[in-house]
Structure 1
Amino acid sequence: MAAQPLVPARLAFAEDGTPWSDTFGDVYHSTDGGLGQAHHVFLAGNGLPQRWRGRERFVVLETGFGLGLNFLATWASWRDDPERCGRLHFVSCELHPFGTDDLARLHRRWPQFAELSAALRAQWPVLAPGLHRLHLDGERITLTLYLGDAREGLAQLVARADAFYLDGFSPARNPELWSPQLCRQLAHLAAPGATLATWSVAGAVRRNLHDAGFELAKAAGFGGKRQMLRGRLPGAAGTAPQPAGGTPDAAPRRHALIVGAGLAGCALAERLAARGWRVELIDAAAGPARGASGNLAGVLRPLPSVDDNRMSRLTRAGTLYGWRHIARLRAAGESVKAAACGVLHLAHDAPQAAKMRAVVERLGLPVQHLRYLTADEASALAGWPVPIGGWWFGDSGWVHPPSLCAANLARHGDRVRPHFGRKLGALQRDENGWCALDEQGTKIAGAAVLVLAIGTAVRDFVAARLLPIGSARGQVSLLPAEPGSAPRVVVCRGGYVSPEVDGQHCTGATFDIDDEDAAPRLRDHADNLARLDAMLPGITAGLAPADVGGRVGFRPTSPDRLPMVGALPAASAAATATPLAAIPRQPDAWVLSGYGARGLVWSEIAAELLASTLDGDPLPLERDLCEALDPARFLLRPPRSRATG
């Protein structure tokens, strides 16, 4: 079943002016001062900033984000510490998040955090269920927010926390956030030597934490509270669930060999380089994005469903993270040709229109992210009469993939060494790691870690029984266009058409399985024009297939339409009851593939997922979604379910 729609917090105040929750009948922080409580209880209670000193990475996990005050105080303390850790991860859960306007009003109470709070609000996510990853302060601060019930969120996290901030509402008002189950989840997520702190010393809280394995001690409380609670999990062995394939010992091995310089490979090169890795990037073409990633314009938007299934959640996560990534690249001075002009997804017929309305009502997402439009409303936005209504994604749009690839490679260019015009002939592994050879047997490059992001060509190096990658030929058509001509937004209905980009509309695309014809075909242009005319009746008048240009790309597909992101399997079969983590893997070999027609949707979130896995960071997606992307998942399914379609 779909997660329940989020109910945002309603701004309210107690009689003394302390922020108040009507839902829980409790204050958001001590009436003696929220900032003092943050420093005394949560920072000092966890031995911070001392404990993060000398560390490359430190992870804080909080059970209630609320106003974000604990986060801002921790961020500011980290900034003020000359001996701070290299990177600080802050992971937090919030069932009833505030909107940006309410946060701005609340944050004015702490003008000393004006710069930090403004940066936080600038990236504040769409209030949609699930994990949201925000990179701040030059990516030295990473905030991973789970919007939804903390009990569900903690069960889905893949992380190892060094310190816990237990800051839910009063156990009497919100007992679920202090339950035995939740306390066990905290212990499961603890890194070696993990500590906790909370203002609550309630007997049930102490009992539940003790039963979960924490050693506890009371300490002097803050303000009017006489006592607070500190804890430590002795002998914590880092038992938090890890992605299948394990996490490498990253420190001495932060050197990757990436094969493929399309959307997948360039995105990963940037994500690893941002973490300080050195990257060798190999591609047979003379530059990046010369294959399936070379289209004039592609669509970056989600695909909702009434049950908010894995495809729905993954496309939403990929879309939201992708647009935030583009904004970060632009803020860093890189040029990405893209526009969040909105995407109109028209229904095929009246029954589907009714289903689309039901999806919008069921998910209850913010209207700027998803709403239903009538035919008249859709026509007004498109600038052309359309036959039926459909979904409107107001924060989505089109992206020019080659410019995104170029920006990703330029962002940390000193750490990415390209090897263009070098066709891979063979891969070898020895005690030093992986080595890539060209077709003459000459070494191209080597590194400790190998990542195959080579599109359909992965089939030349990995057996189909290990990685059931298919190929889908896609042809797009390019139509002459005047600036401002219709459609003014992206329109989809069995295909897509972009607004005017560089004097052209990009429309398509065909999707032909195992068709290896690399030349554009007139019949495919005719098919694209027919789909376009069905979307926007009459817009192709006077155009013949011979009048349009286009290009062909070959997209790697997977049997279940989800990408393959993770460690490369070493076994060709496994019993259906085998845990994914128990399936043997090729040493230090990873894969990014199976993106199909959604390369833009998957590429950035998949790169962040794999880079986080390789470097040992908390993961940006829920555990069930990580498992849904594991390349070994097909080994656990009957052969009939592996047919690519």
Structure 2
Amino acid sequence: MGNDALVVLDTDFDGARFLAACTRHGGWRLHYIALAPRPVDAGQLPSPWREQWPPHVRGLHRMASRDGQVTLDLLIGEPGASLAQLAVRVDEVSLAWMPPSMTVLARLMRDGARLQAAHLDDAQRVALWKEGFAFDDSRLRAVFHARQAPVEPVHDIARRAIVIGAGVAGSAACERLAARGWQVTLIERHAQPAGEASGNLAGIFMPLLSSDDNIPTRLVRAAYLYALRYWAALGGVGSVFEGASCGVLHLARDGAHAQVQRRIAASGDYPPEFARWLETDEATAMLGANAPDGAWWFGQGGWARPSSVCAAMLDACGALLTRRFSSSALTLVRINDEWQVADAQGAVIAAAPTVILAAGAGAVDFVQAAGLPLYAVRGQVTHLDPASLPTRPFVVCRESYMTPPHQGVVCVGATYDAQDDDASLRTSSQRDNIEKTAAILGVPPFEAPLAGRTGFRCMAPDRMPLVGALPDPGVPRRCEQLRDVPRWPGLFGLLGYASRGLTWAPLAAEMLACQLEGEPLPLENQLAAAIDPGRFVLKERRRAQ
């Protein structure tokens, strides 16, 4: 979807209004943004929407029609807080709920935007009139006239991009851009996708919970739920790529940790289809071993093989994707509004106005990204024969994870070894993985042939991704807000996914594609700011000012 979409805001989601908008604007690209302060009965909606409908958990949930012509953003939560977290320009608004401040609503309106209200009293009409809404004779319809039209960014750009790195981050970027008609060149130094951190046999996907519903929790939840819908649209876990939505049993660490989890469960914030707390008896019965402190059951969670996910995403790009594998991109140079990517001999591999670095910690090898605070953390996964330990048909986690058997292998791990660049398999790391797994299963530690894989997670100091335009710290400028941070023209990053790359990749790629196209973002403002690559430069300059 490009920035030519008609953007509609509904302040209290109504299925009939939504379907009417889809019909009324047939042939147009429609972006429908709706607040949902209460659970919605999606049973009356057509099956494509019912199948995507999210559980009633706080946040922005993006859905799309099969043809890509309609995007529905559902904001679940307190409506005033949801409205304040939007940064969009709206063409139409259905005013079913009145915000306490009309200024918040006026901030979102394009000049000439239309308003339709279900009911308005005189005081409400006056409040809207003061913000620039002019009513017709019906007294329920109005047109917004901006006192000073905002300067909106121009997004008339050449839709050609280079993506460096063919792991889950880069592959998702290729798919999300190709879905919008971009021509993409993918550069990868290995002969196949997923040659680095994405090369593990299994990646785990599950949400994160916290007692204060903090920013990392909200970000992971948004990414997890978006990924579930994205993979279903791609063809399905276990169908178009290897894996299974088999569920994840996440055991409490100890009694104190369990008490915190019980408080989260008692809050009622999470419906059981999203997360269900199991007390000792039920958790023990499911695990088949003693689980004295209980566990969470994430029924929609599971595992997938990242390399097969990459292959599915790249295949979905079709003829819009050009693959330049076994090519080492070493330098980036901006010439005549285009980036040129050259190899070690100085030969130009590709050129385009837009470059996306998705090369993990290797991104800092480029001069333009050398200042990013990224580092690599070693993780060794152990591969076991299913006959060597009691297996389960779902993923089990505590301080390590264990996957179900697949093609004669159970994956357990992974170690977390900071400041360690040893890529070889180590007996000590395997012993650590086996001991943690044996403790979960209530069996003695055992010996096994040394087998597995070592990968390196790309981390930022706050353990959150970097998604968006990369900062240019060489440009002196006073910075009070993220928009003040100087950026490299046409240079973007999808970096720092840590141990959740499989979960993060689809939403982060969608986020970047929306930024490039000038579309409404798939995250609330506060969350988008939390993953902006400029946040570290902003912090440094605020401290220095």
Q: Secondary structure at the match of 1:269?
A: helix
**Which residue of structure 1 aligns with residue 405 of structure 2?**
500
8 Å CA contact retained: 1:292, 1:554: yes
Deviates more, 1:487-496 or 1:261-270: 487-496
Q: Secondary structure at the match of 1:261?
A: coil
1:77 aligns with 2:24: yes
Deviates more, 1:451-460 or 1:229-238: 229-238
**Which residue of structure 2 aligns with residue 15 of structure 1?**
none
8 Å CA contact retained: 1:144, 1:620: yes
Distance in 1, matches of 2:51 and 2:233, equals 11
1:157 aligns with 2:86: yes
How far the C-alpha of 1:209 sits from its partner, in A, is 1.1
8 Å CA contact retained: 1:218, 1:230: no
1:60 aligns with 2:22: no
How far the C-alpha of 1:635 sits from its partner, in A, is 2.0
**Which residue of structure 2 aligns with residue 211 of structure 1?**
130
Q: Secondary structure at the match of 2:452?
A: strand
How far the C-alpha of 1:202 sits from its partner, in A, is 2.1
How far the C-alpha of 1:186 sits from its partner, in A, is 2.0
8 Å CA contact retained: 1:466, 1:569: no
- Superposed CA offset, 1:120-169 (max 9, x none): 1111111001100001132221100001122111110122111111123x
**Which residue of structure 2 aligns with residue 563 of structure 1?**
465
1:491 aligns with 2:396: yes
1:95 aligns with 2:37: yes
Correspondence for 1:276 among 170, 178, 181:
181
8 Å CA contact retained: 1:576, 1:636: no
1:607 aligns with 2:536: no
1:142 counterpart letter in structure 2: T
8 Å CA contact retained: 1:254, 1:276: yes
Question: Compared with structure 1, are the counterparts of its residues 461 and 55 closer, same or farther at alpha carbon in structure 2 (3 Å cutoff)?
Answer: closer
8 Å CA contact retained: 2:112, 2:143: no
- Superposed CA offset, 1:518-567 (max 9, x none): 111111111111111121121754x33xx141111111100011111111
**Which residue of structure 2 aligns with residue 525 of structure 1?**
430
Correspondence for 2:273 among 364, 368, 372:
368
Correspondence for 1:195 among 89, 114, 136:
114
**Which residue of structure 1 aligns with residue 386 of structure 2?**
481
8 Å CA contact retained: 1:189, 1:239: no
2:260 counterpart letter in structure 1: K
**Which residue of structure 2 aligns with residue 174 of structure 1?**
none
**Which residue of structure 1 aligns with residue 525 of structure 2?**
623
Question: Compared with structure 1, are the counterparts of its residues 90 and 391 closer, same or farther at alpha carbon in structure 2 (3 Å cutoff)?
Answer: same
Distance in 2, matches of 1:416 and 1:483, equals 43
Correspondence for 2:49 among 114, 120, 130:
120
Q: Which entry has the higher C-alpha Rg, 1 or 2? A: 1
RMSD: 2.5
Q: Secondary structure at the match of 1:208?
A: helix
User: Identity rate of aligned residues, in percent?
Assistant: 39
Distance in 1, matches of 2:347 and 2:370, equals 29
1:136 aligns with 2:83: no
**Which residue of structure 1 aligns with residue 252 of structure 2?**
347
Deviates more, 1:184-193 or 1:449-458: 184-193
**Which residue of structure 2 aligns with residue 110 of structure 1?**
none
1:535 aligns with 2:440: yes
2:117 counterpart letter in structure 1: T
Distance in 2, matches of 1:499 and 1:265, equals 27
**Which residue of structure 2 aligns with residue 468 of structure 1?**
373
Distance in 1, matches of 2:127 and 2:540, equals 43
Task: Mark the runs of 5 or more structure 2 residues left unpaired by the alignment.
Answer: none
Alignment size in residue pairs: 542
2:131 counterpart letter in structure 1: A
| TM-score, scaled relative to structure 2 | 0.94
1:309 aligns with 2:217: no
How far the C-alpha of 1:98 sits from its partner, in A, is 2.1
Q: Secondary structure at the match of 2:39?
A: coil
| TM-score, scaled relative to structure 1 | 0.80
2:136 counterpart letter in structure 1: A
8 Å CA contact retained: 2:481, 2:538: no
Q: Secondary structure at the match of 2:94?
A: strand
Q: Secondary structure at the match of 1:193?
A: strand
Distance in 2, matches of 1:239 and 1:381, equals 58
How far the C-alpha of 1:462 sits from its partner, in A, is 4.3
2:481 counterpart letter in structure 1: P
Correspondence for 2:535 among 633, 637, 642:
633
Question: Compared with structure 1, are the counterparts of its residues 573 and 500 closer, same or farther at alpha carbon in structure 2 (3 Å cutoff)?
Answer: farther
- Superposed CA offset, 1:475-516 (max 9, x none): 101111269962221111111111112211111111112211
Q: Secondary structure at the match of 1:325?
A: helix
1:147 aligns with 2:147: no
**Which residue of structure 2 aligns with residue 259 of structure 1?**
164
Distance in 2, matches of 1:359 and 1:341, equals 23
